[in-house]
Chains A and B, each alone.
Chain A
Amino acid sequence: MQPVATTFFFYFLAGLSIVSGIAVILRKNPVHSALALIVTLLAQAGLYLMLYAPFVAGVQIILYAGGIMVLFLFVIMLVNIERSQKEEQFNKQWFAGLLAALALGGLFVFVYVKGPALFQKQTLPIPEQSNTQQIGVMLYGNYMFAFEIASLLLLVAIIGAVVMAKKRI
């Protein structure tokens, strides 16, 4: 791939994700927020592809954009959003929150920019094997236990969600 295209795509996707990220937290209508979040997620999937992580990108699209966001939209439609739109959108301590968050982000950026030595390491060569295969091998090798725990977590989450959303307890 030509470096020009890489640069262009990076700035395009990064800009897209940040702009729609801002839209997520600013829109009154939760459906619009959810849409903006979907755009962010898709842009992120593009960034993952640029980082040679195609499998995670695919997972991101299927699970996040196709699964979790549908869940969000589903719930937004179930609850009455008419009223919540008319209410005050930001809470009383919004200014303090904004300052704190900006300070945190500023700190991160400061560290990244001032401490580049940490990130000067040469990027790894693109491996011969496919990314999916490597991830599969690692997931079922080193991370077997964590993988099983994750499945248990999902089971607990399913039961929890069902119990919580049930009408009659």
Chain B
Amino acid sequence: MPRRPEPDTAQGAAAAVTPTAAPLLQVHDLQVHYPLRGTFLHRLLGREAGEVRAVDGVSFEVARGEVLGLVGESGSGKTTLGRALLRLVEPTAGSIRLEGRELVGLSEGAFRPLRQRLQMVFQDPHASLSPGMNLLSAIGHPLVIHGLARDRGELRQRVAQALERVGLVPVERFLTKYPGDLSGGQKQRAVLARAIILGPELLVADEPVSMLDMSVRAKILELMLELKAELGLTYLYITHDLATAKFFCDRIAIMYLGRIVEIGPAQAIYQRPRHPYTQALLRAVPEPDPSRGVARDLPRGEIPDAVSPPLGCSFHPRCARAFEPCGWERRDVATMLESRWATMAEEDWRAERALVGDLGALAEPGEVARLVPGRDASTADLLGFLQRLRREGADPFWQGVGELAVEDGAVTVRFAPAVDPGLVVDGPVEVACLLYGRTPHADHTVPDA
């Protein structure tokens, strides 16, 4: 079994891969926005129907021969990013340069020859091969498209070579097989054969093993490592599985809601995760070690709707260590109240609910929340209630709350101005969190994970 090359020096994996001259791939401020299919009225009145900012300004570089991991949960935009690199989805803005050559904006015709250098492996092996083509025509099709095979003989020979390389032997048996006759692992090998037959340099692998059985995952990962070593490939490994990422990647970028929140050498990130989200991910991954109980102090709630992400740092509603500038806003009032009421007895929460009027008004983002008191409640009751909650201060939400005041019949909650955290260098890692790179407030020391 191949041993993962252990980085000889302890100070971090950066040295493990000596990046050669110019980086193979440079992505700068890439954005991919999907327009929301607005209703007919939107189109009629020309009102903007809103859009999903799947990738919201991402920059990174990949050196030749390196494996960069894009790790994130669903909705983080990692798959969209992968597909944007191969122009399967048109980027809205930003630049992608392959060895200095700009790809965004190239016509399909001009881009087609470059596709030989960029290939992709998809997540679902069962759906990556057309059910109507046997392996010979499926794996050989790229050669036909780019006209690299003079005749059927050479085509068959090069396909046989590719099948041999990915371990689908004896080759004669597999050449005329249809995808329907193969197992998951075998299909993924065929997909890999199709990807390497054009001799690419960069392979974007979108969750290549997540749909395979445990016992097959290791075999496919091992095959990919062998292919990288032998063909000098560079991988962009997209996954939600932190365990395989740690083993497989040299550098890792953690993504959340369309942005990179932390990027750096894999060893550095796993040894000392800096961003609260990365820390939470590493605590949450179930490890096969009974001494470790189930993770307890976890972020609250779930990944918000990407159509209108939270202001400032989009992780602030769930982050236990969010403080004043992190972007607390109007919608968080409703969340705070609702999560509070979930734990209370019926009479108590009904009494508090009666104080607060319509929660619907709090559904839009905004830096000032205007709470109209319930029918038979006064602004004073409502103000008193909010101040009592603030004194309890159980929820980090209150760190972001500035002034509580009564203004023309309603209680207004003003929030501190939101600051959008950019990537800041912190040791070998860059992290997008207000806890870092600024003179941190006295009471926000940066505890180790």
> Is the pairing of A and B real?
no
Q: Which residues of B contact A (CB under 8 A)?
A: none
